[in-house]
Amino acid sequence: MVDVAMLPCSFVKSEVAVVIDVLRATSTIVTALANGAKRVIPVRTVKEALEKRRENVLICGEREARKIEGFDLGNSPLEYKKEIVFGKVIVLTTTNGTQVIEKIKSKEIIAASFLNALAVVKYLRDKRDIVFVCAGTNGEFSSEDFLLAGAIVKRLGREDLKDGAHVAKKYFESVKDLREEIKQHSSHARKLISLGFEKDVDYCLRENVSDVVPILVDDAFILKEPL
């Protein structure tokens, strides 16, 4: 079965859970690993992040969309350039995306964005039970996460869809211009744009530009080799 959790209100169990935070955590995780980071360790709190500071470790994250004071990087994927992150361990804490992982009890957890959507589809082809977990924004529904879930569900071509997956697929199919839909109607996208992060939004809405699949192993996302 394939399902989509619009918000992680309760614990999620499945063979594979796909974490989605388009704007911006999972887009940042994909970018960091694609640019050579050794691994990305998601943590809930600023304190947890700071406790992991050591050589070759970058402490990164945001609160209310802005870089945390004293951190090396924020949560803009555009900051995670190869010359900065290559060979480094990234410790990441964000308002939404890194918070949902503790609610997932699946055998496998991977990270999805529009950037690596096709690679995720390929990875999921032989998986039986799949749940897409939308991070949302401050506990509220985020249309961009739901649209990405719908896009991947459609491309999987499965018929064993639960209600959430069926509705996500229908929503994606109804949208004529994905970029305009999100930039015009996603409250989180509009907030980021108002704060000066329009380039981030544009970057996060690029489709299928990365073939990496981040997979959570021992509490860190590492690079799953391209299929």
What is the tens place of the pLDDT at every residue in 142-168?
999 999 999 999 999 999 999 999 999
Site of tokens 């499965």: 158
The torsion region of residue 103 among left (phi > 0), alpha (psi -120 to 50) and beta comes to: alpha
Residues of the chain above pLDDT 70, percent: 98
Whether 227 maps to a domain, the answer reads no
Q: What is the pLDDT of residues 76-126, one digit of tens each?
A: 999 999 999 999 999 999 999 888 998 898 999 999 999 999 999 999 999
Residue 6 has pLDDT above 60, yes or no: yes
Whether 95 maps to a domain, the answer reads yes
Quick one: pLDDT at residue 97? 86
Domain that holds residue 95: 2-217
Whether 128 maps to a domain, the answer reads yes
Whether 69 maps to a domain, the answer reads yes
Number of structural domains, the chain?
Answer: 1
Residue 171 has pLDDT above 80, yes or no: yes
Between CA 28 and CA 17, with CA 129 as vertex, the angle to 5 degrees is: 20
Query: What span, in angstroms and rounded, lies between the C-alpha atoms of 170 and 165?
Result: 9
Q: What are phi and psi of 71, to 5 degrees?
A: -85, 155
DSSP code, position 55: T
Residue 55 has pLDDT above 60, yes or no: yes
Whether 100 maps to a domain, the answer reads yes
Where residue 43 sits, what CATH number does that domain have? 3.90.1560.10
Whether 225 maps to a domain, the answer reads no
Quick one: pLDDT at residue 225? 59
Whether 12 maps to a domain, the answer reads yes
Residue 226 has pLDDT above 90, yes or no: no
Give the CA distances from residue 224 to residues 34, 112, 206, 215, in Å, rounded to whole numbers and listed in that order.
10, 12, 20, 6
Whether 223 maps to a domain, the answer reads no
